[in-house]
Amino acid sequence: MNNFEFKNPTKIIFGKDTIHKITEEIPSDAKILMLYGGGSIKKNGVYEQVKTALAKADVVEFGGIPANPEYAVLMDALKVIKEENITYLLAVGGGSVIDGTKFLSAAAVYEGEEPWDFVRKREPIQKGMPFGTVLTLPATGSEMNSGTVISRKETQEKLAFGGPALFPQFSVLDPQVITSIPERQLVNGITDAFTHVLEQYMTYPAGGLLQDRFAESILQTLIEIAPRVIKDPSDYEAAANFMWSCTMALNGLIQQGVPGDWAVHMMGHELTAMYGIDHARTLAVVAPSHYKYNFEAKKEKLAQYGERVWNITEGSIDDKAYAAIEKTEAFFKGLGIDTKLSDYTSDYEGTAEKIAQRFTDRGWKGLGERQALTPQDAEKIVKMAY
């Protein structure tokens, strides 16, 4: 196991009817900007719950943050922050609203001219405006981590960055919010969280016995609750386990002391930037090809995952590893998620070359757990995913 230092300062308030507790977390003299997405919160009662809780507070609203939070829209929100002398941000939404709020937290105190500069530089963000979240969509783990992903249509970019200042101060997780989530987004959430675990697990054996079992338990829980959540999102026990699994999949815990990959996400972000494909679906497109292409380097962990998560007991390490990739792809397909790029666009020729060129231009010479995956490797993997 590698050395590590781990600090996660986000307070989690989990459970039924907990949204009103935000009043205890936000300073009473704060001037709050409440941020939300395209309006789902106005239909499912979350908006009213937040407004009721904040009845005595000084609140300005900013709605309309789109999925894959868009830089231009966030720049409008930044204007409101400056004009209204906002001191506290409250994200009410899924990963996109939370990520947009994280960007704004950093942008609000940024002294440079153009906030996109700090997005591109990807240096750890050390200061930001305080913020909290009310999560409405289990998926990304953004509610308990310090990462964010921002999109910019103008340049077709989608870039991840983060830093110690970008942990939410608190996040309210009321699993009842999932009852209004359309099936498309529910299965996206399951797939995203599942792949987050894989990115931190599917590397090489590193002696992290506990980390491996944490990871496997999250995967097993997601597999177990997936059909229940899809069948009946008002099944509270399933919803609660779904929500907590998604948070635990990417709050830093399972990655401590072990190598991480994240190449699937890096390639997937490009597919969203180019074609607007839902984040989780890009992962389902890239992951099977990624694991086949890197089979030799990853087969021991693939076989362990096959044995422990999918109960594959027959055959050699290679057989189990290969069967594990097939099981993973079948799991995504069983959720109704297509796993080939051509399922999403007919205009895919040249995509792989373009991604390789972007990685080269950005100086991303070596991705993956050994920093050995070159832009040319990425090109081959994306081609396999056509």
Q: Under the rule (CB under 6 A), what is the footprint of ligand NZQ?
A: 37-41, 44, 67-68, 93-97, 99, 136-137, 139-142, 145, 147-149, 177, 180-181, 185, 188, 192, 250, 265, 279
Residue 346: CB minimum distance to Zn ion, A = 25
Minimum CB distance to Zn ion smaller for 281 or for 299 = 281
Residue 231: exposed, middle, or buried by beta-carbon count in 10 A (0-12, 13-18, 19+)? Answer: exposed
> According to the 3-state scheme, what is the secondary structure of 80-105?
HHHHCCCCEEEEEECHHHHHHHHHHH
Identity of the residue, 198 or 323, whose beta carbon is nearer to Zn ion in the bound complex:
198
Partner from ligand NZQ, Zn ion, none contacting 44, C-beta within 5 to 8 A by type: ligand NZQ
Q: How many whole angstroms separate alpha carbon 132 and alpha carbon 19?
A: 12
Q: Which residue is nearest to ligand NZQ (CB)?
A: 37
Q: In angstroms, what is the minimal distance from the CB of 280 to ligand NZQ? A: 6
Which of 31, 38 has the CB closer to ligand NZQ?
Answer: 38
User: How remote is the C-alpha of 275 from its chain's centroid?
Assistant: 18
Least distance (Å) between residue 61 CB and ligand NZQ = 13
Residue 274 token pair: 């180019």
CB 206 within 8 A of CB 258: yes
Chain centroid, CA 64 distance in Å: 20
* Residue 171-210 contact track with Zn ion, rule CB under 5 A, x = bound: ---------------------x------------------
Least distance in angstroms from the C-beta of 279 to ligand NZQ? 4
Q: Among Zn ion, ligand NZQ, none, what does residue 336 contact (CB within 5–8 Å per kind)? A: none
Q: Is 362 helix (H, G, I), strand (E, B) or coil?
A: coil
Shortest distance in whole angstroms from residue 333 CB to Zn ion: 19
User: Cα(234)–Cα(238) distance, rounded to whole angstroms?
Assistant: 8
Asked if 379 contacts 348 with a C-beta cutoff of 8 angstroms, the reply is no
Distance CA 204, CA 356 (A): 25
By CB under 5 A, tell whether 261 contacts Zn ion: no
Output the smallest distance, CB 59 to Zn ion, in A.
Answer: 30
Dihedral sign for Cα atoms in the order 82, 86, 89, 94: negative
Task: Return residues touching Zn ion (CB under 5 A).
Answer: 192
